Amino acid sequence: MAPLKWWETATIYQIYPRSFQDSNGDGIGDLPGITSRLDYIANLGVDAIWISPFFKSPQKDFGYDVSDYCDINPEYGTLADFDEMIAKAHELGLKLMIDIVPAHCSDQHAWFQESRQSRDNPKADWFHWVDPLDDGSAPTNWLSFFGGRAWSWEPRRQQYYLHNFLASQPNLNHANPAVRDALTDVARFWFDRGVDGFRLDAVHTINADEAPYQDNKPNLNFVPGPMPQDQQPFFRQLHDSAQLNQPAIQQFSEAFRAVADSYEGDKFLMGELHGDDPILASQTFTAPGRLHATYNFNLLEWGGLSVAGLKEAITKAIGAFNETGRLTFAFSNHDVPRVATRQLAPLGLTEDQQEAMQLLLLKLEISLIGSTCIFQGEELACADIQDIPIDQMQDPWGIEFAPIFLGRDTCRTPMVWDSKAPQGGFSDANQTWLPVAEAHKKRAGLEEAGRDGSVYQDLAAFLAWRKTQPAMMTANQMTEVTGGETELVFDRISETQTLRCRFDFENLTASFEEI
């Protein structure tokens, strides 16, 4: 059996840079701040870090609206700061991944600024420009993820342009090969600086549609749900099989893979992918010669999952990908409420059981095949912060739909490092970009790293033990998930070891037995 690549078993620590560590007292986290905390991450025993966008951006969607893919937003630092950070990470044995946004950019990007000027400039067709209907209205009834129409009017061209998210995030036209070439140039820029891989944001929203654009049909069985897109009966399904198999979209995946394969060191491409049929979508994007793995949403259910729900979600994901490393699991990230909070209600637990629940979930996801992403603060069992005053909210999604839907600020509050320091040791500023959560001060990172029995220390011990287990590290094979109403049981199997993994949600414990 061939040795596995590093990413096939990696535990990856996700950093939301705006909220990790402020080094210059402006209330916003930055790259030098991350560098100063890399020892904390390395001592946890993870294999890699993934940093959410820090590129030049007007920050209307906090970095997911890129105005220059090859430069650093000044509030995060400089390219020299990046080079120092990656050098320190590699010195500590950490791989470093960054977050590329391939489906859209900012309306402040030079590409869009040129494209919007006329219908005949060199970048005229780098975005989706469509004539209005005869009555002047938008070409289709499509709605955006963030509310309102997915089309905005540009008077200079007398046309509408498409945006899946904010109007300031125009969709790139992936039917144009020049767009693909520009993005692969971005990949080379960062690989040349030593980056070990990319997390490709929202690849299911890459768009290569061409006229005629079709209206969504009304859903006669529509019932409003908890998420904003569940409250929009004409919401466009961007991720059906026909969409995902458009040649231009998968040509992008193949071109990015070819660039990654041209570098030494097993570069890793992980695509964030959500959809009505996530298994089919993952199979499409990770077909030979495309992305290495997809970031799986099966465990990221907004309202949490019961034990039966966990069993079903894992079974569905594993069924199609057993004996491969083509899946990346996560329970929390920068877009959903923290799992320590999400999993309390459906399982009938109290807040007193928060630490045990968080550790159990971390051990569960790390024991599955493929790679795992841990969101900053999970190693501290941080809860979601759902009492941020509306006038202090920053997330455009939450601002649009509050108070019915609070958006993503609730999981993005700054890290607390020192319970006794001003702003919890995150910043010297009088005011931080989001308020520091008082509830997190009892879970300060530096203090928990030194406290016997903390989630941080127990997770570090588990990760160290895992690296000694052939069933976990030399093969991506597991059996069907079984167990009673309150447990999940499966075996991890390699040529030299079978390890029975049991997760007890009644007593909130995990056990591992070699059989």
What helix, strand, coil percent values describe the chain, rounded to 5?
A: 35, 15, 50
Tens of pLDDT along the chain (515 residues)? Answer: 678 999 999 999 999 999 999 999 999 999 999 999 999 999 999 999 999 999 999 999 999 999 999 999 999 999 999 999 999 999 999 999 999 999 999 999 999 999 999 999 999 999 999 999 999 999 988 888 887 889 999 999 999 999 989 999 999 999 999 999 999 999 999 999 999 999 999 998 888 877 778 787 776 777 777 666 666 666 554 444 456 667 788 899 999 999 999 999 999 999 998 766 778 888 989 999 999 999 988 899 888 999 999 999 999 999 889 999 999 999 999 999 999 999 988 888 888 899 999 999 999 999 999 999 999 999 999 999 999 999 999 999 899 888 888 899 999 999 999 999 999 999 999 999 999 999 999 999 999 999 999 999 999 999 999 999 999 999 999 999 999 999 999 999 999 999 999 999 999 999 999 99
Which of 65, 209, 272, 447 is labelled catalytic?
272
Tokens of 360: 């159990």
Distance CA 303, CA 164 (A): 24
What confidence score (pLDDT) does residue 346 get? 81
Which of 22, 61, 107, 201 is labelled catalytic?
201
| Residue among 34, 81, 16 at smallest CA distance from 414 | 16
Tokens of 391: 């006038």
Which DSSP string corresponds to 256-286? HHHHHHTSSS--EEEEE---SSHHHHHHHHT
Please name the residues in contact with 433: beta carbons below 8 A apart, sequence gap of 6 or more.
18, 19, 27, 28, 394, 414
Look up 301 and say whether it is catalytic. Answer: no
pTM here is 0.96
What confidence score (pLDDT) does residue 403 get? 84
Tokens of 484: 């009673």
Length of the chain: 515
| Residue among 401, 372, 379, 229 at smallest CA distance from 314 | 372
Domain ranges of the chain: 6-105+177-474
Please state, in angstroms and as integers, the Cα–Cα distance from residue 251 to each residue in 44, 172, 247, following that order: 38, 14, 6
Alpha helices in 262-353 (DSSP H): 278-285, 307-321, 339-342
502-511 contacts, C-beta under 8 A, 24 or more apart: 503/360, 503/363, 503/364, 504/360, 505/307, 505/347, 505/360, 508/349, 508/353, 508/356, 508/357, 508/359, 508/360, 509/356, 509/360, 510/359, 510/360, 510/363, 510/364, 510/367
What confidence score (pLDDT) does residue 349 get? 85
CB atoms inside a 10 Å sphere around CB 413 = 25
What confidence score (pLDDT) does residue 238 get? 46
What confidence score (pLDDT) does residue 276 get? 63
Alpha helices in 430-478 (DSSP H): 445-449, 455-466, 470-473
Tokens of 148: 């309102």
In CATH, what number does 6-105+177-474 get? 3.20.20.80
By the 8 A CB rule, do 462 and 468 touch? no
- Dihedral of the alpha carbons of 414, 417, 418, 421, in degrees to the nearest 10: -40
Burial class of 311 by CB neighbour count within 10 A (0 to 12, 13 to 18, 19+): buried
Look up 201 and say whether it is catalytic. Answer: yes
